[in-house]
Amino acid sequence: MENADYSLLNEPDMQEIFISFLVETKEILERLDLDLVELENRPQDADLLNQIFRAFHTVKGTAGFLGLLRLQKLTHVAEDILNKLRKGEMVINDFIMDAILNAYDGMKDLVAVIEENKNENFDTSSIITQLEEALAGKTELDAPAKTEASEVSSDEEDEIDEEETLEQPVVESVPIPQPKKAEKSGAAVQATAKKGENTIRVDVDRLDDLLNLVSELVLGRNMLSQINLEASMQYEGTRLVRDLGETSRHIDRMTTELHLAVMKTRMIKIGKVFNRFPRVVRDLSKDAGKKIKLEIKGEHTELDKTLIEEINDPLVHLVRNSADHGIEMPEDRKKLGKPETGTITLAAEHEGNNIIITIEDDGKGMDPEMLKEKAVSKGLLTKEKAAELSKKDAFNLIFAPGFSTAAKVTNVSGRGVGMDVVKTNVTKLRGIINIDSEVGVGTKIIIKLPLTLAIIQGLLVKIAEESIVIPLSSVVEVVHIPKEQIYHVNKNEVIKLRDGILPLVNINELLYSKGSVGEGDWQYIVVVGIAEKKYGIKVDSLIGQNEAVIKSLGNYLGEIEGIAGSTIMGDGKVVMIADIAELVNKLVETNNVEG
């Protein structure tokens, strides 16, 4: 590494090439993560081996051009192994597979260092040693010695450079002059051209700016609708009102379509997250001595980029828990009459303006009585209160901080952290999480999230003299009950809703320290879901549903507990958007109320 010169990475003229290298390499690494795990299941798949080989080769070539000698060396040795595998001179075994996966991990870490520091201060020597041992310690099939150049078959010369041409590699997204290649077939050229014409890369900041402009347009649309309503009442029947109404409807339709189009540009397939988990499950099953199969469904389901970034950690916790706590050892599964290989299913689907993510396993399930006993032993609740818990409430005990059912501490679990983090993250995203489990059958965890966090569907309600927006993604249902059916338990208001007891939240009291002044003998209750729990919000009247653009309160007001932001109504009035999670937390802290 003494001869490595990274000054090239800092030259202004190279910045576009350097950024293109990072984007291209990250895309390659994402595909490799899935392909390498699949290779373990299909070691004889020639197409898959060639695809993996080309990925390593592309990274090697670009690294050589940019003077990234450590990355070039790492990918070169891994490429040698893959070359022998695809030619049948070596056969995949556990040692070789681990070496290739370690090389992949090293590449990922090294690229992260290169992006952050523009150097290669990351030790790859142990990884390269393992690769060289795998390369040298395996028996090759009898084959005539060939040079590096002659090892490349004629039909692959179009895509793979010889070692001597490392100075000018093939990297499609980097504008580097290339030596003339043999012409591709007409179909290949047409497919490549079509892909290039239909795909561009756009900076996320530009998309954020565009979304902000659309948000302002939504506010303008709402104001125009309000003006149209007032004009139609005052000048009913006139041509001016008819024209205004037609224009208003047209603007409304176009704004809605534009909003959807902009949101789609920010949407990313959840497969970007899901595709990381085959490797996670593979490593977990190997470490634990279990046989686990991961099934992925709905990987083409799309959601906002912000949510993609936030949902990764909760899913990691849940999948690891399924592998560690859920799936039994092969011999135990066999005794129970189950297949030795356990199955974890990771699925996603759209439901209206929400996305539903499901993590399901066919493992041992959760015993509600055992969970109650564990909670009592940890002092989280009394025996009397534990006896009163429903099956669903018992399952929700796993979200308590410090709660763990692991018999011993392992690298995966048993430290009392994880599920409370899942609950916190899901709550932060205005989501709902539910658990369903049966002993001996398995566990199913369902997460419901809004598709976007920028523009929300809201339920506009009146509490005392204030109009407040409740995010519709948190609303489960609305009930209308006689006030005499509101009871007090330990000075806290509750209602009986079907088979359960629902704690009530008085927003007027929590925010303004005064009770509701609603009149009449009936009370509207908006039932909301916060992570795994439900609460009822007392409101005086329902105004209707509307599309709310979340605006910050600004530096002057700063953050106000229980308020997520504000929105501007069609008549110009500023209305607060309730942060249901914070309000409920405030209720719990103040009155020690649990949902």
- Of 303, 302, 277, 281, give the one whose Cα is nearest residue 292: 281
Task: Identify whether 300 is a catalytic site residue.
Answer: no
Residues 6+ apart with CB under 8 A from 232: 241, 244, 245
- Of 567, 573, 419, 583, give the one whose Cα is nearest residue 507: 583
* Residue 440: φ, ψ to 5°: 85, -10
Where in 29-174 does DSSP place strands (E)?
Answer: none
Q: Which CATH architecture has domain 270-450?
A: 2-Layer Sandwich (3.30)
Cα–Cα distance for residue pair 165/492, rounded to 1 Å: 76
**CB-CB contact of 565 with 553 (8 Å):** yes
Q: Which two tokens stand for residue 9?
A: 């990475």
Amino acid present at 122: F
Point out which residues pair with 433 in neighbouring strands. Answer: 447
CA angle 76, 82, 85 (to 5 degrees): 150
Helix (H, G, I), strand (E, B) or coil at 515: coil
Task: Identify whether 79 is a catalytic site residue.
Answer: yes
Q: Which of 102, 321, 508, 546 is catalytic?
A: 321
Cα–Cα distance for residue pair 219/337, rounded to 1 Å: 60
Length of the chain: 595
**What confidence tens digit (pLDDT) does each residue in 408-463 have?**
545 455 434 468 888 888 887 878 888 989 999 999 999 988 776 667 788 999 88
Dihedral sign from CA coordinates of 274, 276, 282, 288: negative
Q: Which of 57, 259, 317, 325 is catalytic?
A: 57
**CB-CB contact of 431 with 529 (8 Å):** no
**What confidence tens digit (pLDDT) does each residue in 385-396 have?**
888 888 888 888
- Of 386, 413, 431, give the one whose Cα is nearest residue 532: 431
Cα–Cα distance for residue pair 221/570, rounded to 1 Å: 8
- Of 474, 471, 475, 450, give the one whose Cα is nearest residue 550: 471
pLDDT for the residue 412: 52
Dihedral sign from CA coordinates of 70, 76, 81, 86: positive
- Of 276, 287, 261, give the one whose Cα is nearest residue 309: 276
Helix (H, G, I), strand (E, B) or coil at 464: coil
Residues 6+ apart with CB under 8 A from 337: none
Cα within 13 Å of Cα(133), Cβ side: 12
pLDDT for the residue 423: 84
**CB-CB contact of 504 with 594 (8 Å):** no
Cα–Cα distance for residue pair 84/100, rounded to 1 Å: 13
Question: Any idea where the domains of the chain sit in the sequence?
Answer: 7-154, 205-265, 270-450, 455-591
Q: What is the torsion angle, in degrees rounded to the nearest 10, for the CA atoms of residue 527, residue 506, residue 500 and residue 354? A: 20
pLDDT for the residue 181: 36
- Of 274, 268, 316, 318, give the one whose Cα is nearest residue 298: 274
pLDDT for the residue 454: 64
Q: Which residues of the chain have pLDDT under 50?
A: 1-2, 138-196, 409, 411, 414-417
pLDDT for the residue 329: 93
* Residue 125: φ, ψ to 5°: -60, -40
pTM of the shown model:
0.64
Topology (CATH level 3) of domain 455-591:
OB fold (Dihydrolipoamide Acetyltransferase, E2P) (2.40.50)
Q: Which CATH class is domain 7-154?
A: mainly alpha
Task: Identify whether 321 is a catalytic site residue.
Answer: yes
Distances (CA, A) of 7 to 10, 13, 531: 5, 12, 50
Q: Which of 76, 79, 328, 396 is catalytic?
A: 79
pLDDT for the residue 328: 93
